[in-house]
Structure 1
Amino acid sequence: MNHVSNDDVAAGGARPAEQRLLDVKNLEVTYANGAAAVRGVHLSVDAGQKLGVAGESGCGKSTLALALLRLLPAGTKVSGEILLDGEDVLTMKWGRVRAVRWAGASIVFQGAMHSLNAVHRIGDQIAEPILLHKKATQTGAKKKVGELLEHVGLPAARADAYPHELSGGQRQRVMIAMALACDPRLIIADEPTTALDVMIQAQILRLIEQLVAEQDLGLMMISHDLAVLSDTCDRLAVMYAGRVVEEGPASEVYENARHPYGKALSAAFPRIGDAASRFAPRGLPGDPPDPSALPSGCTFHPRCPVALDSCATDDQALRDAGPHHRSACVHAGSQLPAQPTSASAAERTS
């Protein structure tokens, strides 16, 4: 079984399952076309903890995020458990799910311009869930909107603006304000800074970190950028072909990945001052497998530069790869063999 959990929280000790904010157990998601997008995922997030979920496009990380609040399209099969404050989201009645989506957990999507309604003022859009879920008066909701905007670094007067009148960074701040509107305990941020320039990205990330610390929120941040996640999160879970293939302390996974895929993701980002990464960047040939036609054995083996013959037939479960660090790799118990450059790897898979 592919098992991953965040038993080892940032403070060092494990928390009992009943105290966890989010506890996902053996989550499986299969789309109507037969694509197995999420396969046997276990993970947890505690209040005040920041979990990063990394991987290429198509690895299942956004499907995982949508599954947590039952936002997947009709016809999708979902099994396992998604315990939010001990209550299983998958067995909730629809009325309860609607309440939980704002008051229990909320999502910050990438591309704020596509998530905001272009013909409504942003203040009205932030106020809508407050009026619906908090049963506030118009006056109370307006006051709350102003407080939320100021909390994310925008003047309260910007409530009268339309989305097109704001910059990309300001729109993303609006999305964060909206996510906080009903005081949720868990924030799911799906690529929240992808469309932003580096300076604005840094500001948004610092804002998210500040809000998590001040309000004791749980955060699940999804990104393809291991460098961003390692700088923002306490722990990292690396996904490939619908599974978590590596997890551990964020800095440890980024600096000393123990799965070839995690190592390739980390090496894709050159380090400032590191001549080796600048002049000999490593890439990863090929693409993630089709979720409806997964290869046998370890699903990463067709692209793996250090695969053994057994990897083509033997699946790999997560195993200890160091203190609080796990990897689903046959090499997990030792340092990974030297990996070839991207050119050599391409020749190997051609």
Structure 2
Amino acid sequence: MTLLEVRDLRVTYPGGAAAVRGVDLTLPAGRKLGIAGESGCGKSTLALALLRLLPAGTEVSGRVLLDGEDVLTMRWGRVRAVRWAGASIVFQGAMHSLNPVHRVGDQIAEPVLLHRRASRARARALAGELLERVGLSAARATAYPHQLSGGQRQRVMIAMALACAPRLIVADEPTTALDVMVQAQILRLIEESVTGHDLGLIMISHDLSVLARTCDRLAVMYAGRVVEEGPAGAVHERALHPYAAALSAAFPRVGDPASRFAPRGLPGDPPDPAALPAGCAFHPRCPVAREECATDDIALREAAGSRRAACVLVPGTAGGRPVPGTAGGRPVPGAGRGDRPPDGPPADPSGRTA
């Protein structure tokens, strides 16, 4: 059953910044979709658009169907109800989202009082149950946010998101500020909450390795568009789009000799959404760009293995394959400029080997 369906979603901020450009996504109930990309690629804008949380003056078009109902055309009273009972957001940086002068138990209980019409005693009891569900003692309900660690505060945010039993959870960089041990605990908690209660999850991150471990499918965004989408493990290990390959290469694989030669990211930054380049928006940074990339803006193409990619190097279902000049889908130095064998030494700009 389809829980969320996004069709041709476009978001333009005042001043002409096209932050989201024609995004199509589908999320069945009980499944997990990851959205990856650098800062400025439109990930958080997409998340805010799903629940109409964008600032006044922002132009939004397209369709956002949650259980078949279009969020973008709902009356405001219905939107307020959907924001808790239909879908909840876990924001990055819990300290900025929690009220510092209220106890965390009261903050978890507040949406229960407003949206589930529970008594105050029942709301407080449910807040304690939710804290225990996310691995904290119910006694922590009396604590203020500053009395909790970063990982504990993030658990409180997850408990708050679950308070009204939503059908969809949107997690926007929920582990960015946490150390790797706490990060692993939070990711496991989110995954258990989704799979154990047949929820849908959209997780946003710049880290493909995190999304590949947590999600079923993965969509990679660049300059407001989805440039690759498919099974999470396949996108991470055998990217079809050069940008997805570069993101994957930014995280070396322990024990993988080829990753020693992989570049650690890309030079430059994503383009200004108010002044996008002609053709493929990624072509000024692409290591394997062709002449036509400067003029042709390629739409997402179907590829083998239930995948899609927006690149001239992806001919379609008969030949979807990793980007040429990559090792296991990861770009290697010299790709498109005189490739070297993946197990050989890196090439310098003159073409000599080190």
Give the TM-score of the pair, scaled to structure 2: 0.91
1:336 aligned residue? 323
2:342 aligned residue? none
Question: 2: CA distance between counterparts of 1:191 and 1:340?
Answer: 28
1:1-350 aligned at under 5 Å gives the runs: 19-333=1-315, 334-338=321-325, 339-341=331-333
- Matched position secondary structure for 1:196: coil
Instruction: Give the superposition deviation at 1:280.
Output: 4.3
Change in Cα spacing, 1:316 to 1:82, as seen in structure 2 (3 Å) is same
Change in Cα spacing, 1:342 to 1:154, as seen in structure 2 (3 Å) is farther
Which amino acid counterpart does residue 301 of structure 2 have in structure 1?
R
Question: 1: CA distance between counterparts of 2:254 and 2:88?
Answer: 35
Which amino acid counterpart does residue 140 of structure 2 have in structure 1?
R
Which amino acid counterpart does residue 326 of structure 1 have in structure 2?
R
Instruction: Give the superposition deviation at 1:322.
Output: 1.9
Q: Provide, for residues 295-348 of structure 1, a one-character-per-residue CA deviation record: whole Å limited to 9, x for no partner.
A: 01111111111011001001101112321011100001344221452899898x
Q: Is the 8 A contact 1:154 1:170 kept in 2?
A: yes
Q: Provide, for residues 164-219 of structure 1, a one-character-per-residue CA deviation record: whole Å limited to 9, x for no partner.
A: 11010000000000000000000000000000000000000001111111100000
Q: Provide, for residues 53-106 of structure 1, a one-character-per-residue CA deviation record: whole Å limited to 9, x for no partner.
A: 000000000000000000000000000000011110011111110000000000
Q: Is the 8 A contact 2:324 2:335 kept in 1?
A: no
Q: Is the 8 A contact 2:229 2:235 kept in 1?
A: yes
Question: 2: CA distance between counterparts of 1:139 and 1:270?
Answer: 51
Question: 1: CA distance between counterparts of 2:283 and 2:263?
Answer: 21
Instruction: Give the superposition deviation at 1:281.
Output: 3.5
Q: Is the 8 A contact 1:281 1:342 kept in 2?
A: no
Q: Is the 8 A contact 2:131 2:159 kept in 1?
A: yes
Greater CA radius of gyration, 1 or 2? 2
Q: Is the 8 A contact 1:24 1:81 kept in 2?
A: yes
**Bigger shift: residues 138-147 or 273-282:** 273-282
Q: Is the 8 A contact 2:113 2:120 kept in 1?
A: yes
Question: 1: CA distance between counterparts of 2:264 and 2:161?
Answer: 37
Instruction: Give the superposition deviation at 1:277.
Output: 1.4
Question: 2: CA distance between counterparts of 1:198 and 1:344?
Answer: 35
Q: Is the 8 A contact 1:126 1:177 kept in 2?
A: yes
Which amino acid counterpart does residue 236 of structure 2 have in structure 1?
Y
Change in Cα spacing, 1:40 to 1:282, as seen in structure 2 (3 Å) is same
- Matched position secondary structure for 2:20: strand
Instruction: Give the superposition deviation at 1:278.
Output: 3.1
Uncovered stretches (5+) of structure 2, i.e. residues with no partner? 316-320, 326-330, 338-347, 350-354
Give the TM-score of the pair, scaled to structure 1: 0.92
Question: 1: CA distance between counterparts of 2:333 and 2:16?
Answer: 35
Instruction: Give the superposition deviation at 1:33.
Output: 1.3
Higher RCO (Cα < 8 Å, 6 or more apart):
1
Which amino acid counterpart does residue 103 of structure 2 have in structure 1?
R
Question: 2: CA distance between counterparts of 1:289 and 1:234?
Answer: 29
Q: Which runs of 4+ in 1 moved over 4 A?
A: 342-347
